[in-house]
Amino acid sequence: MGSWGAGLYSNDIALDLKSAVAAIVKLPFESEQLIKMLAEAFPEEASNEANEDYTTFWLVLADQFHKRGIDCPDVFSRSLKIIDSHSDLQMQESLGMDAKELKKREKNLQKLKSKLCQPVVEKKRNTLKKPQPLIMTKGDLIIFPVSAEGDAINPYFTETEFQEVNWSQSNWGAAVIMDCGHVFEYLAYYCFIVQMRCLEENSKPDLDRLQNSVGWRLAPAGTCSRTHFQRMQIEVLANIKLDEQKCQRRFPVIPNGIKAAVNDISISNELHVYAGPWWKDPAQIKSLSEITFE
């Protein structure tokens, strides 16, 4: 992705990793297991030294764990090696960072080195006592209001903020939960297909109408807290019986949910209907009959 500044958190991966650490440290596991989980969520960045974000991954990880009072000698040692070998600076230079910014980057890395050489002040972590609840199940056919642009309600808005944006419903969207479960035993995720078009009538759809609606696409996995579920005004219309063999043929690869769960990527990012021309539709199936029992 490249860097857009000399700071340690001056690229997208660094910010994603910061959020991921915040999610992972809520799990009741030892540091070694937490690191393994993060490496699974960012496989290329964590293991491939030629990857442009390899050094950023380990530097940010060391900084975050040290700040949070989690002692990880191996991570700290790897990060100090990256700093002393100048491999991060070399990578940033290859990505186009100029001499002035490289000097700033080096200064920031030396500050990090000084911090990592200090003893970790351990802090108590508030961890999850049980897995996050699954508020939807496999086969759930859900509906949700959409705007004239085809977008669902932004669940990150508070009630006051939502009123200020003057959002109004134009029609309905629909989706089917294809799979759901827990990443690392605790973090809930959902995989789903989305109905791609605004329905011909803007009245609230029923099951028969959705079974006959045309065009469904597989979306990336996402999370959905009870708060987001309520704010998006999602309703479970029915639970349809998915034919596993048909689903496997139509969708041989279902997202595993790791990235979504670790980074807490809401399903709201994908709950929208397609507004482009019909011939550009990225649909994988025409109707729900292609994945359900006759």
Is residue 4 scored above 80 in pLDDT? no
Is residue 44 scored above 60 in pLDDT? yes
CB atoms within 10 A of CB 196: 23
- Residue 276: the pLDDT is 54
- Residue 3: the pLDDT is 53
Average pLDDT over residues 108-115: 97
For residue range 162-193, what is the model confidence (pLDDT) as tens digits? 888 888 898 899 999 999 999 999 999 999 99
Average pLDDT over residues 265-283: 73
CA-angle at 196, arms to 224 and 160, nearest 5°: 45
Average pLDDT over residues 55-60: 97
Average pLDDT, the chain: 91
Which residue type occupies 292?
T
DSSP 120: P
- Residue 37: the pLDDT is 92
DSSP 151: B
Is residue 133 scored above 60 in pLDDT? yes
Residues of the chain with pLDDT > 70: what percent? 94
Residue-range domain boundaries for the chain = 12-116, 140-290
Residue 18 pLDDT level (bands cut at 50, 70, 90)? very high
- Residue 5: the pLDDT is 81
b/e 265-280 (16+ beta carbons within 10 angstroms → b):
bbbbebbbbbeeeeee
Is residue 39 scored above 60 in pLDDT? yes
- Phi, psi of 3, rounded to the nearest 5 degrees: -110, 145
| C-alpha torsion sign, points 168, 170, 176, 179 | negative
pTM for the model: 0.82
Is residue 1 scored above 60 in pLDDT? no
Residues of the chain with pLDDT > 90: what percent? 72
- Residue 200: the pLDDT is 63
CA-angle at 67, arms to 157 and 31, nearest 5°: 95
Residue 279 pLDDT level (bands cut at 50, 70, 90)? very low
- Residue 212: the pLDDT is 84
- Residue 275: the pLDDT is 56
- Residue 198: the pLDDT is 67
CA-angle at 248, arms to 243 and 249, nearest 5°: 100
Average pLDDT over residues 194-202: 75
